[in-house]
């Protein structure tokens, strides 16, 4: 760690601590990455050997295209294997180890977002932000009403909106129960802060970029007014990679 005496700027103490806490990266120990069909899906292989999740299960996907995307992520690793640069594999691990055996709690997390969804709570000022929220969020509410049969209401302020229970039930009915779709939707919901944005992404109403932009209307507005923070942008880029991984799962199933 530099203290500044060597001509380099001194390290941020918090950043130095985070670096020290990072686990040592494994060296790449394989040459060839591939996929093979197996019962119920397609497994990733490294030099012909199975890849294991943290819980010891085989890394496999239900579609050939998704398995190939996972394999490509492993093949893209250089001399060191960096899990931080493997968002698709991290998501696959969480789905295989954590969603298949407990779909109900995962679906319940998405339902909580629906009950107080981001796109239903609107700013009262400034007018530019009010207009921007309406431009990005009103079409999502219209889509939910017309496609899901869920006429959810929007209102100014942050006071809880008591949505019609029938509308909520119809929106909840759009939540998939198949583990991979459910796990990807849960990840997208958490990262977007909105179940409706995630559902619109899953159903093809929004592209990845459109969904991400809709999820960050307020944040983008604040950045435009007060400036962009490098650390915040780095965190956002990391989150977008995870969001894109969730979108990839939904697209390739």
Confidence of residue 117 (pLDDT cuts 50, 70, 90): very high
Last residue of a domain, one of 98, 125, 142: 98
Q: Which residues contact 121 (CB under 8 A, 6 or more apart)?
A: 154, 155, 157, 158, 161
Supply the mean pLDDT for the chain.
92
Q: Are residues 85 and 113 in the same domain?
A: no
Say what the pTM is.
0.89
- Two structure tokens written together for 82: 């960096």
Residue-wise DSSP of 201-246: HHTTSS-HHHHHHHHTHHHHHHHHHH---HHHHHHHHHHHHHHHHH
pLDDT in tens, 4-17: 444 444 555 555 44
Question: What is the mean predicted confidence (pLDDT) over 182-188?
Answer: 98
Residue-wise DSSP of 113-139: HHHT-GGGEE--S-HHHHHHHHHHHHH
- CATH number of the domain encompassing residue 48: 3.30.2180.10
Flag whether 178 is in a domain.
Answer: yes
Flag whether 187 is in a domain.
Answer: yes
Flag whether 7 is in a domain.
Answer: no
pLDDT at residue number 229: 87
Flag whether 86 is in a domain.
Answer: yes
Return the minimum-mean-pLDDT range out of 11-15, 24-28, 59-63. 11-15
Query: Domain residues for 39?
Result: 26-98
What does R_g of the chain's alpha carbons equal in angstroms? 21
Last residue of a domain, one of 62, 80, 98: 98
pLDDT at residue number 55: 96
Q: Are residues 240 and 137 in the same domain?
A: yes
Confidence of residue 130 (pLDDT cuts 50, 70, 90): very high
Q: Maximum CA pair distance of the chain?
A: 66
- CATH number of the domain encompassing residue 144: 1.10.3580.10
Q: Are residues 127 and 203 in the same domain?
A: yes
pLDDT in tens, 223-250: 999 888 899 999 999 999 999 999 999 9
Q: Are residues 142 and 245 in the same domain?
A: yes
User: Whole-angstrom Cα distance, residue 56 to residue 14?
Assistant: 34
Q: Are residues 126 and 229 in the same domain?
A: yes
pLDDT at residue number 24: 86
pLDDT in tens, 139-149: 999 999 999 99
Question: What is the mean predicted confidence (pLDDT) over 169-174?
Answer: 98
User: Whole-angstrom Cα distance, residue 180 to residue 96?
Assistant: 8
- Two structure tokens written together for 6: 């060597």
pLDDT at residue number 228: 85
pLDDT at residue number 72: 98
Structural domain total, the chain: 2
pLDDT at residue number 242: 98
Q: Are residues 78 and 121 in the same domain?
A: no
Q: Are residues 190 and 217 in the same domain?
A: yes
User: Which position has the token pair 């943290």?
Assistant: 54
């Amino acid at each position: 760690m530099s203290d500044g005496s060597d001509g380099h700027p001194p390290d941020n103490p918090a950043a130095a601590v985070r670096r020290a806490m990072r686990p040592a990266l494994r060296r790449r120990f394989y040459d060839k990455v591939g996929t093979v069909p197996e019962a119920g899906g397609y497994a990733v292989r490294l030099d012909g050997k199975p890849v294991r999740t943290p819980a010891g299960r085989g890394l496999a996907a239900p579609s050939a295209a998704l398995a190939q995307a996972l394999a490509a992520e492993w093949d893209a690793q250089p001399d060191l294997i960096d899990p931080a640069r493997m968002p698709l594999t991290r998501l696959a691990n969480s789905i295989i180890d954590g969603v298949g055996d407990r779909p109900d709690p995962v679906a319940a997390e998405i339902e909580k977002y629906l009950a107080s969804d981001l796109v239903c709570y609107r700013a009262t000022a400034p007018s530019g932000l009010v207009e921007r929220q309406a431009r990005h969020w009103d079409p999502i509410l219209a889509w939910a009403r017309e496609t899901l049969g869920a006429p959810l209401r929007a209102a100014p302020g942050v006071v809880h909106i008591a949505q019609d229970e029938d509308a909520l039930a119809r929106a909840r009915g759009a939540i998939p129960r198949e583990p991979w779709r459910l796990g990807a939707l849960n990840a997208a919901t958490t990262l977007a802060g909105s179940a409706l944005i995630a559902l619109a992404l899953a159903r093809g109403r929004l592209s990845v970029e459109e969904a991400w932009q809709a999820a960050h209307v307020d944040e983008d507005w604040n950045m435009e007014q007060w400036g962009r923070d490098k650390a915040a942008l780095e965190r956002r880029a990391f989150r977008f990679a995870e969001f894109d991984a969730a979108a990839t799962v939904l697209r390739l199933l």
